[in-house]
Amino acid sequence: MTWHIVADSSCDLFELPISVPGTDFATVPFTIRIGGTEYSDTPDISIEDMLTANENHKEAAHTACPSPQDWTEFFSAQGPVLAFTISSNLSGSYNSACAAREMILEEHPDKHIAVIDTKATGPETVLIIRKACELIRQGIAFDRIVEALNETAEKTHIIFALSSYHNLIKNGRVNRLVGLIAGHLGFWGIGIGDDNGEIAMRGKSRGEKSMLRHLAEEIRKIGLAGKEIVISHCQNEAAALRLKDMLCEMYQQVKVDILPTRGLDSFYAERHGLIVGF
pLDDT of residue 20: 95
Q: What is the pLDDT of residues 228-276, one digit of tens each?
A: 999 999 999 999 999 999 999 999 899 999 999 999 999 999 999 999 9
> Which SS3 state, helix, strand or coil, does residue 140 take?
coil
Q: pLDDT > 90: what percent of the chain?
A: 81
pLDDT of residue 168: 63
**Range 158-277 has CATH code 3.30.1180.10:** yes
Domain spanning 3-30+65-155: CATH superfamily:
Dihydroxyacetone kinase; domain 1 (3.40.50.10440)
pLDDT band for position 7 (cuts 50, 70, 90) = very high
Q: Quick one: CA dihedral 267, 197, 222, 228, positive or negative?
A: negative
pLDDT of residue 197: 74
Find the mean pLDDT for residues 161-175.
Answer: 68
Q: How far is CA 266 from CA 15, 41, 82, 108, 215, in A?
A: 18, 10, 25, 37, 19
Average pLDDT of the residues of the chain: 92
CA angle, corner 182, sides to 178 and 183, nearest 5? 120
Quote the pTM value.
Answer: 0.92
pLDDT of residue 186: 64
Q: pLDDT > 70: what percent of the chain?
A: 93
Residue 47 has pLDDT above 80, yes or no: yes
Residue 181 has pLDDT above 90, yes or no: no
Find the mean pLDDT for residues 147-158.
Answer: 97
Q: Domain segments of the chain: what residues? A: 3-30+65-155, 158-277
CB 91 within 8 A of CB 65: yes
Rounded to an integer, what distance in angstroms lies between the CA atom of residue 247 and that of residue 231?
Answer: 11
pLDDT of residue 189: 86
Find the mean pLDDT for residues 190-206.
Answer: 81
Select, from the ranges 103-112, 161-170, 178-187, the one with the highest average predicted confidence (pLDDT). Answer: 103-112
Q: What is the pLDDT of residues 63-98, one digit of tens each?
A: 999 999 999 999 999 999 999 999 999 899 999 999
Rounded to an integer, what distance in angstroms lies between the CA atom of residue 257 and that of residue 243?
Answer: 11
DSSP-derived letter for residue 66 is P
